[in-house]
Amino acid sequence: MAAVGRRVYVFAGFYSKSWINYGDLRGYYSDAYVLDLDELRWRKLPDFPFRAYGLDAAVYQDRYVVLTGGMKIGHLEPSGATAENWTGSDEGNFEIVVFDTKLESYRTLPTRVPPFPLTQEAVDLVAGWKAKVPPHDWMATYDFSKGIYRQTPKLRLIGDRFYLLGGDVVGNPKNASDELLIGTIR
């Protein structure tokens, strides 16, 4: 989510009916909407380039919404199917997507966010955790080898530099990223 002037932009996201057992009651989306605060009306925008969850956004030059981090959702959920029947996998999102609020279009930047460097301890911890996930659980769709290391990071613009801070690895505090990435758009 980001605000530009008197408009609030919302991109992609996650829906769940229950936090206790939400394997069959959830969905990920690529929808995008804008709320005009003067008219108090929502309007649908072109879909985000992929289904995503846990992104963060920063506004650049009062026109562009820069989005990165989170996860790319690659699994498919056939209607009425339980998690054990889903196909595909989810992975960390390393793309940097820029939404132009005037043209209402997306651009994916050519340079990606570098993957988080995993220590052997983190690899072992994730492997042990993954081994405990039943095949019918929704978490079985995660492809840990592709990295899910920037779930819900913080992206901020200060001056002409973007700062991307941390995020967690699949919700486990022992796997939280303490990295800080600094970048610029040219």
- Distance, CA of 70 to CA of 98 (rounded, Å): 15
Tokens standing for residue 77 = 């959920």
pLDDT band at 183 (very low <50, low <70, confident <90, very high): confident
| Residues above pLDDT 90, as percent of the chain | 38
Q: Is the pLDDT of residue 171 over 50?
A: no
135-156 as b/e: b if 16+ CB within 10 A: eeebbbbbbbebbbbbbebebe
pTM for this prediction: 0.80
CB contact at 8 A, 46 and 31: no
Does residue 76 or residue 111 have the better pLDDT?
A: 111
The arithmetic mean of pLDDT across residues 53-65, rounded, is 94
Q: Is the pLDDT of residue 176 over 70?
A: no
Angle at 43 between CA 38 and CA 49, to 5 degrees: 130
User: Which pLDDT value is given to residue 17?
Assistant: 59
User: Which pLDDT value is given to residue 150?
Assistant: 65
Among the residue ranges 8-12, 43-47, 126-130, 139-143, the one predicted with the least confidence is 139-143
Annotated domain spans of the chain: 2-183
